[in-house]
Structure 1
């Protein structure tokens, strides 16, 4: 398996260009066809006309979106040519929460961005990254708005807990792991206790190694009062890793959204790219 069709979600946020650069680099690396999918949040004009003083907002927003879309489309084609990558540009009027998962289902990998609370243009829908992970049916590579790594996939960390979602993510991320210098399978606080004296994560590491991956295992302990997600992110920083692979929503999604969970915390606090599968 390899990634031969990649879709990157583009919008009007200041992170669209850096996200495109990541997508171009990966498309070049894997010899993939790259689709740039432009989808943004568009307010319903019917709801604005009932609000005093907002009648002109929709027209102004539309004009601004058309201007930025044109500039981004020109940049996309120029960058495709420069990188010598095959691709296409698609702009849709549907909401991103519907359009991106639909297009992603005909791709090997979909690339999207983490929500940036400091950039209103990064908002394309409520819980967009979470909905994409749950509904795409394909691996989702989420690019953080604060990047601490210039590369993606040189050192891969697999967050392993033995769940169905983690298993799916491991197999979906094999193309990255084959090209990585090293992959570290991390279990936190004995989260996955295999029977007998075997090292946690040893069996999945053996499977990964049979695909020609340089892999190691590491079992770490979250101290008293420490969270699994915080411990995991600290370990990633210490290892100098630039890609986290994990299953998304091992618990019910409503439970994590309401009560919190590792998936939600990682989506809020990530500083390296995260490949999630559900």
Structure 2
């Protein structure tokens, strides 16, 4: 059950859609909402051979804190109108520590809500990637500009028998139990028959049935590609939510998203619940 939600805030135009989505999720599950705002403080750095001095850095940090004060004032007014239990949490930290702070906060909640990272101007891309790979929690990604209503009556699961997909399904069970229609979409390759692809979903269907979730198995060929096929299947189903594993690989100390994951998180027009 989802009992608390952390929604990422930055004072930008997408705060409103994120807060509204979190509010609607909280209404579904009688959950608590925590708004997380982080003031990123500039650090001493050199640009084009010129190093900012201590006085200049102090001025930049003061400006950042003042901007944070203005954002928090507006956010407090917005949060005061919520019909859910809530709080606002603020951290003022140096730029190098923003990801760590958000990551530590995200681990304290059942669900992290933010905006889809790609396909639009988004200053929080690195933060979103850090939470996805390092929080151990599910992330719900809202399309840029938000959606009018989030009531996931129809859900599509992107299923393959992998750790990431299993994690995503486990995290999504509260949404799946709420849904009226759940489709398990298995995108195969042309070497597999529809029967073979359907067999891949039989066991997960049995598992979800034990949770009271009835599903339809939907084995499909890859078409023009896995990501595009999944997006098309969600559109055909008129889905309200896509559930999928977050795939990627590590490069030194960074995570790099796989091509399918990145493509979906660039083009999806519905919320995506993703877990790694």
TM above 0.5, yes or no, is: yes
Whose strand fraction is larger, Structure 1's or Structure 2's?
2
Q: What is aligned with 1:276? A: 274
Q: What is aligned with 2:112? A: 110
Q: What is aligned with 1:181? A: 180
Q: Secondary structure at the match of 1:127?
A: helix
Map 1:54-73 → 2, pairs under 5 A: 55=56, 58-73=61-76
| Structure 1 residues 224-243: Cα deviation after superposition (integer angstroms, max 9, x where no partner) | xx221111111111111011
Q: Which moved more, 1:57-66 or 1:104-113?
A: 57-66
State the alpha-carbon separation in 2 of the partners of residues 99 and 13 from structure 1. Answer: 19
Q: 1:193 to 1:174 in 2, by over 3 A?
A: farther
Task: Establish whether residue 50 from structure 1 lines up as the match of residue 51 from structure 2.
Answer: yes
Q: Which moved more, 1:38-47 or 1:91-100?
A: 38-47
Task: Establish whether residue 203 from structure 1 lines up as the match of residue 203 from structure 2.
Answer: yes
Q: 1:173 to 1:61 in 2, by over 3 A?
A: same
Task: List alignment gaps of at least 5 residues for structure 1.
Answer: none
Structure 1-normalised TM-score?
A: 0.84
CA contact (8 A) 2:5 2:111 kept: yes
Map 1:27-176 → 2, pairs under 5 A: 27-44=26-43, 50=51, 55=56, 58-76=61-79, 78-80=80-82, 83=83, 85-94=84-93, 95-115=97-117, 119=121, 122-124=122-124, 127-147=126-146, 150-176=149-175
Q: Secondary structure at the match of 2:5?
A: strand
State the alpha-carbon separation in 2 of the partners of residues 116 and 261 from structure 1. Answer: 12
Q: What is aligned with 1:234? A: 232
State the alpha-carbon separation in 2 of the partners of residues 103 and 241 from structure 1. Answer: 30
Map 1:208-219 → 2, pairs under 5 A: 208-219=208-219
State the alpha-carbon separation in 2 of the partners of residues 192 and 75 from structure 1. Answer: 53
Q: How far 1:20 sits from its partner (Å)?
A: 0.3
Q: How far 1:149 sits from its partner (Å)?
A: 6.2
**Corresponding residue pairs, total:** 265
Q: 1:131 to 1:21 in 2, by over 3 A?
A: same
Q: How far 1:131 sits from its partner (Å)?
A: 1.5
CA contact (8 A) 1:133 1:277 kept: yes
Deviating above 6 A after TM superposition, structure 1's stretches of 4 or more consecutive aligned residues are 191-194, 255-259
CA contact (8 A) 1:162 1:192 kept: no
Q: 1:205 to 1:244 in 2, by over 3 A?
A: same
CA contact (8 A) 1:161 1:191 kept: no
| Structure 1 residues 164-210: Cα deviation after superposition (integer angstroms, max 9, x where no partner) | 1101111110000000111110001259979x966331210121122
CA contact (8 A) 1:185 1:217 kept: yes
Q: How far 1:145 sits from its partner (Å)?
A: 0.6
Superposed CA RMSD in Å reads 3.0
